[in-house]
């Protein structure tokens, strides 16, 4: 069988299982199978595919048909300016989270040598994107998951910024190291009982610990705000990702911990998604 017919078969199968991006997904999974990029696939669609590759391809198509996200099947996701190594141990970087990076870069345009803390670093997509753009910034990342820290380390090495990144396995409330010019966090903020209603690809495949914010969705956010108010320098900026219905509650929590609200911002779907504040 040639590449093009295999892709068509894969795409038809995904379509029959109601995967909306069936053609694109099939092409990406073929590229992954034969370890080439999508351009190669399109330019060499008449090349024959060997038996082993074909069976590996069908296996990936099967997993995709059951909802496994493309980022986990290909172990990669593009975010900001870089490709990140991703496994099922980390949340898949979201385009909406690029808002955090955008804010961070804007707020630090004329700063140098600042010290940033990322609480719940996950894949590292936020802080590593910033370290890559700002060559004199220093980063610290913490996470409760050792596997996340390993993935962040791999990404830091791939992006050539690992000498400027320190990583610690810690609960947010137990971490007491250092003082930071800027703190950033995309904590878990989904209400636990809502989790099962998220899209199947998210609910069944992404790590619960990266999503679940307890009964009211705010249990981790509360801890992150409290800890940030202790670890941030005076006048330091704090950039936080929040759920679409949490703006007012989170603003109150921030004010109570001595933060001044600079701005709140909406994501691509026009939901409140990010709060920028300053420790006063």
Q: Which positions lie near ligand GLN, rule CB under 6 A? A: 94, 186-190, 198, 202, 211, 241
CB of 101 to ligand GLN, least distance (A): 15
Contact indicator for 247, 240 with CB cutoff of 8 Å: no
Shorter beta-carbon distance to ligand GLN: residue 11 or 186: 186
What are the structure tokens assigned to 8, written together?
């068509």
Three-class secondary structure of residue 166 per DSSP: strand
Shorter beta-carbon distance to ligand GLN: residue 139 or 188: 188
Shorter beta-carbon distance to ligand GLN: residue 140 or 212: 212
Contact indicator for 122, 113 with CB cutoff of 8 Å: no
What is the CB neighbour count within 10 angstroms for residue 83?
13
Shorter beta-carbon distance to ligand GLN: residue 198 or 280: 198
CB of 190 to ligand GLN, least distance (A): 5
* Neighbouring residues of 220: CB distance < 8 A, sequence distance ≥ 6: 120, 172, 187, 188, 189, 213, 214
Shorter beta-carbon distance to ligand GLN: residue 138 or 142: 142
- Nearest 5°: phi and psi at 110? -105, 20
Integer angstrom CA distances of residue 186 from 14, 16, 51, 231, 240: 32, 35, 43, 17, 6
CB of 25 to ligand GLN, least distance (A): 19
CB of 106 to ligand GLN, least distance (A): 21
CB of 88 to ligand GLN, least distance (A): 15
Pairing of strands 259-266, 272-279: antiparallel
- Which among 81, 101, 68, 94 is positioned nearest to 201, based on CA atoms? 68
CB of 37 to ligand GLN, least distance (A): 28
CA pair distance 16, 61, nearest whole angstrom:
12
Shorter beta-carbon distance to ligand GLN: residue 131 or 190: 190
């Amino acid at each position: 069988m040639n590449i093009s017919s295999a892709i068509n078969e894969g795409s038809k199968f995904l379509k029959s299982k109601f995967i909306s991006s069936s053609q694109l997904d099939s092409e990406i999974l073929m590229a992954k199978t034969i370890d080439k990029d999508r351009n190669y696939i399109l330019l060499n669609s008449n090349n024959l595919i060997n038996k082993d590759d074909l069976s590996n391809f069908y296996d990936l198509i099967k997993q995709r048909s059951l909802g496994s996200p493309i980022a986990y099947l290909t172990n990669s996701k593009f975010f900001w300016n870089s490709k990140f190594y991703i496994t099922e141990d980390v949340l898949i970087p979201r385009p909406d989270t690029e808002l955090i990076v955008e804010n961070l870069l804007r707020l630090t345009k004329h700063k140098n040598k600042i010290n940033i803390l990322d609480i719940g670093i996950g894949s590292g997509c936020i802080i590593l994107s910033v370290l890559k753009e700002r060559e004199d910034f220093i980063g610290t990342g913490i996470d409760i998951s050792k596997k996340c820290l390993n993935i962040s380390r791999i990404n830091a090495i791939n992006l050539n910024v690992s000498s400027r990144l320190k990583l610690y396995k810690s609960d947010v409330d137990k971490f007491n190291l250092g003082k930071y010019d800027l703190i950033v966090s995309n904590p878990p903020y989904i209400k636990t009982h809502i989790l099962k209603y998220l899209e199947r690809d998210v609910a069944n495949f992404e790590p619960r610990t990266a999503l679940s914010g307890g009964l009211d969705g705010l249990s981790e956010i509360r801890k992150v705000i409290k800890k940030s108010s202790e670890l941030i320098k005076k006048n330091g900026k704090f950039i936080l990702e929040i759920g679409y219905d949490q703006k007012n509650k989170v603003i109150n929590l921030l004010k109570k911990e001595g933060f001044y609200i600079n701005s709140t911002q909406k994501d691509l779907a026009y939901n409140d998604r990010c709060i920028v504040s300053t420790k006063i």
